[in-house]
Each structure stands twice: as structure tokens, then as C-alpha cells.
Amino acid sequence: MAETKPLNHIVEIAIDEEHQKQIFSAMNAIAAIQDHPLMEISESPGHLLLLKLLQREEDLSARRISRKETRLDTLKRQVFQLCLFFFTFHGLFLTLLFTSYNNNNNNNNNSTNDVDIIDSLCSKWWIPMITSLTFSLVMVVLVQMKLFGFWKVYRQIQREKSESRGVTRCIQELRMKGVSFDLSKGPGNGSRMKSSSVEIKWKPVTWCSQYFVTIGLVMFSGLVLPICKFMICS
């Protein structure tokens, strides 16, 4: 029986230049990842905790801004509905007033005491005027309260957005610097940004621009009062 001898096969794998480049690029990528600031942050408990706190604060700030913007839209709709109801009421009120007193004048044209009747009607001009004034006062107060709440929420949103930009900038700086980032710049210290631009506004002009709707309703209400007397006594 023939005796078999083990054969030692030497297999040589030729590595081309392209494969060598892929290996070198992979090694460089691994080295870059190890030297990346995020890797340094993950190895530092203090910096990692700060990053998580900043990210949590950024998320909470975004949620607060979203809720307040929803509240802002609700106040806008409420102010619009109140103004629409205000003008609708006065439109119907003046139409009914004009129609009723016009009919009375037409019916009294054949009467012998036209002057006395007209004087009697004119002496009651204050009744529709008080009605219009009371309704206008109530509506103006409601609109003013809604506008006051609107601008209060608007200022809160602006502050929240400013603080959110500060937190975002702090996160970006932490990601770029890694462990060299100063831990004293926490959410309570370095997250708040102060605006570099200072706007100088005259308070009366600012107030008038913010409450222009209320001023318009008051002026319209003052215009309705003499119209009521003119329609009754004319």
C-alpha cells in the first residue's frame, strides 16, 4: 500500500495597492474617531453629563416654545372673534335703529303733532346710546385683556428663544472642544445669551402699536354715539 506524505501548501495572497489604501483609510478613520471630541466626551463623566443636561434643556425649551406659540395663536383667534362680534353688533344695531325711527317718522307724517312726537323721540336718544356704550365698553375690556395676555406670551416666547439659542451654542461649543470645554459653562451660566443689539423705543409709540386694535374700537365706539343721536333727532 503506497505511503502518503503530507503536502505543505504555501498560499500567498497578493495584496494590491487599492486594498492597501482601504486598510490605511480604515485605520485613519479609527484613529480620527478615537481623537474626536465626542469620543473624549464619552470618556469624561463630567462632560458627558453636561452634554445630556444641555440636550435635555434644549428639548424642554423647544416644547415650552411650541406650547406658548399655540397659546399665541389661540389668543389671536379670540381677539379676531371679539372684533368681528363687535362690528357685527353695531352694524345690526345701527340698521335696526335707523329702520325703526325711519318707520316712526313715516307713520307720523300724517299726524297733527309732528313736532311734539319728534321731540318726544329725540328726548329718548340716550337709551340707544347707553346700550351701545355699555356693549362697547364690555367688548373693549375683553379685547384689551386678550391683547395684554397676547403680548405677555409673546415676550415670554422671545426670552425662551434667546435662552434656547444660548443652549444650542453651548452644545455646539462642547461638541467641538471636547474635554477642553469649561465645565463651569453649565445650563445656568453659559446657556443664556444677551442680545448685542439694543433697541431704543419710545414707550407711548410701543404701547400704541401693541394696542392699536383697542384704540380703534374705542374710536369707533365714540363715533357711534353721535350717530345714534343724529339718527333719532334728525
In a domain, 137, yes or no: yes
Q: Report the alpha-carbon distance of residue 89 to residue 71 in Å, rounded.
A: 27
Quickly list H helices, the chain: 17-35, 37-43, 45-107, 114-122, 126-177, 203-210, 212-233
- Long-range contact set of residues 127-131: C-beta below 8 Å, sequence gap at least 24: 128/93, 128/97, 128/228, 128/232, 129/225, 129/228, 129/229, 131/93
Read off the pLDDT of residues 81-132 as tens digits, 9 standing for 90 and up.
999 999 999 999 888 887 876 666 665 555 445 555 455 567 777 788 888 8
In a domain, 15, yes or no: no
Highest mean pLDDT among 8-12, 38-42, 116-120: 38-42
54: nearest Cα among 193, 158, 164: 164
More confident residue, 188 or 210: 210
Grid cell of 233 as nine digits: 333727532
Identity at 190, one-letter amino acid code: G
Summary mean pLDDT of the chain: 75
Read off the pLDDT of residues 152-180 as tens digits, 9 standing for 90 and up.
999 999 999 999 998 888 888 877 877 77
In a domain, 16, yes or no: no
- What is the domain range of residue 128? 23-192+201-233
* Count of the separate structural domains present in the chain: 1
Grid cell of 97 as nine digits: 335703529
Burial class (CB in 10 A: 0-12, 13-18, 19+), 71: middle
More confident residue, 153 or 196: 153
In a domain, 11, yes or no: no
Q: Are 181 and 174 in contact (CB under 8 A)?
A: yes
In a domain, 83, yes or no: yes
Angle at 190 between CA 186 and CA 193, to 5 degrees: 145
Grid cell of 151 as nine digits: 403680548
Percent share of the chain, pLDDT over 90: 31
In a domain, 96, yes or no: yes
Query: CB under 8 Å to 45, separation ≥6 — which residues?
Result: none
Confidence category of residue 25, pLDDT binned at 50, 70, 90: low
In a domain, 216, yes or no: yes
Question: Quick check: pTM over 0.85?
Answer: no
Read off the pLDDT of residues 53-88 as tens digits, 9 standing for 90 and up.
888 898 999 999 999 999 999 999 999 999 999 999
In a domain, 9, yes or no: no
